[in-house]
């Protein structure tokens, strides 16, 4: 007997200021901006890449990041794509001990 399944996800753009349910308990303290806003895959040899840059900015005061991850919006809701170790925040965005300074953009 052969069993196969088919799964399709509908990727969408969420409404402005629509945030993941798990984050609603926190006040918004940082701005996250991706460039380009709409990102299309680029095929290099036999592999697809989504080339982009992410900028994070804290506009109010110095803060310490306690969790680091990525969400994707599909099928009408936010879905956790991946959680990362905090040390990767320092490596990827050049923060020090996960501290973001006010008005300092991190790319």
* pTM for the whole structure: 0.68
Region of 24 on the Ramachandran plot (φ > 0 left; ψ -120 to 50 alpha; else beta): alpha
Instruction: Give how many domains the chain has, as a whole number.
Output: 1
Q: How confident is the model at residue 1 (pLDDT cuts 50, 70, 90)?
A: very low
Domain-embedded: residue 17: no
Asked whether the predicted pLDDT for residue 44 surpasses 80, the reply is yes
Domain-embedded: residue 22: no
93 Cβ contact partners less than 8 Å away, ≥ 6 residues apart: 56, 106, 107
Whose structure tokens read 């490596």?
A: 91
Domain residues for 34? 29-100
Tell me whether the omega of the peptide bond preceding residue 24 falls within 30 degrees of 0, making it cis.
no
Q: Which of 55, 30, 52, 31 lies closest to 42, judged by CA?
A: 52
Is residue 104 a contact partner of residue 57, using CB atoms and an 8 Å limit?
Answer: yes
Domain-embedded: residue 15: no
Domain-embedded: residue 7: no
Domain-embedded: residue 9: no
Domain-embedded: residue 96: yes
Mean pLDDT of 74-85: 89
Domain-embedded: residue 56: yes
The pLDDT assigned to 83 comes to: 94
Asked whether the predicted pLDDT for residue 17 surpasses 70, the reply is no
Domain-embedded: residue 95: yes
């Amino acid at each position: 007997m052969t069993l196969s399944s088919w799964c399709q996800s509908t990727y969408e753009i969420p409404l402005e200021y629509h945030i993941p349910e798990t984050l609603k308990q926190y006040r918004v303290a940082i701005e996250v901006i991706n460039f380009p806003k709409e990102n299309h895959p680029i095929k290099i040899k036999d592999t697809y890449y989504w080339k982009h840059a992410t900028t994070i900015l804290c506009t109010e005061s110095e803060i310490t990041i306690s969790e680091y991850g990525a969400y994707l919006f599909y099928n009408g809701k936010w879905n956790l794509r991946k959680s990362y170790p905090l040390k990767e925040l320092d490596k990827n965005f050049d923060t020090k001990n996960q501290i973001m300074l006010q008005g300092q953009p991190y790319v």
